[in-house]
Structure 1
Amino acid sequence: MITLYDMSLSGNCHKVRLLLSLLALDYQTKPVDLRGGEQRGPGHLQRNPFGQVPVLEDDGLIVRDSQAILVYLAKRYGGENWWPDDAYQLAQIAAWLSTAANEIFHGPAKLRVHHKFGSLIDTAAAGQTADKVLGIIDRHLQSQAWLVGNSVSIADVAVYPYLALAPEGDLDIGEYANIIAWFQRIRALPGYVAMPGMWQD
């Protein structure tokens, strides 16, 4: 049985829940009480010494970090549709995973944490980063349906949650028509699962 150490309001955890559902994999969740400090306890630190979620446990293997978990699930369970053999496509996927961990984290994700949970951040810097990355993604999606290639990939799964949660970061996502159309394509996928706070059309 696959076990996901999870936090229900985390966009990074939602990436993993979304891919597990899209792949129709059976799994169980074990909530980690971040507000209570469970992530700093010895049990969780043994799974992830950085004290973060999500963490995936599968057949005795432990994988930390949401992007790494997506790679693991795509390669082990997704087949060619989710983990292509083409070197260029894999490089593009890796680039979007990096964008999810960098610009999207430092822009839309940080703004959400500020507005929803009261975290102190440099809102001006986060806002500039968010505007830049949203513009880049919207232009990229003007000429193609998915971030990489002709079908959904883990690049889309990695980037989607914190963009869909942008309203909780006080970002007006509605002006990005190509991103909105991409949201709708993702939501139409068999096995799609949402989470509270995501943009609604």
Structure 2
Amino acid sequence: MRLYTFQHSPNPLKVRLALAELALDCEMVEINLFKGEHRSDEFKEVNPHQKVPVLQEEGLILRESNAILTHLGRTRHSELWPLESRWEALASQWLFFESFSLSVHCGRIWWTDVVAKAIGRPGANEALLADAVEELERSLDVLESHLSTRQFLLGKSISLPDFSVGVTVAMLRETRLDSADRWPNVIAYRERLRSRPSWTQAGGDKIHQFG
């Protein structure tokens, strides 16, 4: 099994966390996005979309982080992925929530408030940022309410969807939306994820470390 990754990018981190929690051996191939290595002809053969992560396993190539999480859950028969249909549907729903309600908007805020400042590049334009803030406030309110009665997305125990939603929420640390006053349950949830050994093993804090 081989994972094409980049240590500073959130989407590959989701997969590295899952691999760490599942204790799976995997060859890591670092693709430096800042140096443009994802645009090389060699990598285009791996992923024509020129993005990471990419997981290769026994002839299967998966190029989307949430698809990789689903694959790992369904094939490893771990407690991290529910196999009962009702709970599997709920797990999938949270992966869709991350993809459509959090990911793009968090990315714009994270890039502007964290990455661009650190590496000297321009952030997103103000209109896009205003839209991202508005959408995220709504989505974070939903997540805040959900987490008021449970530690993790599916209850008391962590599951693979937490690595998707949790990493994306963690992108907002040290940004304009990092508010423990408005979203205390979300912040506590983020810190539960960051306190796990797998977070350190996967290099979780590197999504805020540049230079």
TM-score (norm 1): 0.87
Structure 1 regions of 5+ residues with no counterpart? none
- 4+ runs of 1 displaced by more than 4 Å? none
Which residue is equivalent to 1:106?
104
Cα separation, partners in 2 of 1:51 and 1:88, compared to 1, 3 Å: same
Separation in 2, partners of 1:131, 1:15: 22
Residues 18 and 157 in structure 1, CA contact (< 8 A), matched pair in contact too: yes
One-letter amino acid matched to 2:11: N
Question: Percent identity among equivalent residues?
Answer: 30
Further displaced range: 133-142 or 31-40 = 31-40
Further displaced range: 6-15 or 147-156 = 147-156
Residues 22 and 78 in structure 2, CA contact (< 8 A), matched pair in contact too: no
One-letter amino acid matched to 1:124: A
Aligned residues: 196
Cα separation, partners in 2 of 1:167 and 1:180, compared to 1, 3 Å: closer
Residue 28 (structure 1) shift: 2.4
One-letter amino acid matched to 2:165: V
More helix by share: 2
Separation in 2, partners of 1:163, 1:24: 24
Structure 2 regions of 5+ residues with no counterpart? 117-121
Residue 94 (structure 1) shift: 1.3
Question: Which of the numbers 140, 146, 149 marks the counterpart of 2:146?
Answer: 140
Separation in 1, partners of 2:55, 2:207: 24
Q: Deviation per CA, 1:71-114, whole angstroms, max 9, x where unpaired?
A: 1112222x241222222211111111111112211322221112
SS in 1 for 2:15: helix
Residues 3 and 29 in structure 2, CA contact (< 8 A), matched pair in contact too: yes
Structure 1 vs Structure 2 CA RMSD:
1.9
Separation in 1, partners of 2:194, 2:36: 33
Cα separation, partners in 2 of 1:191 and 1:34, compared to 1, 3 Å: closer
Residue 68 (structure 1) shift: 0.7
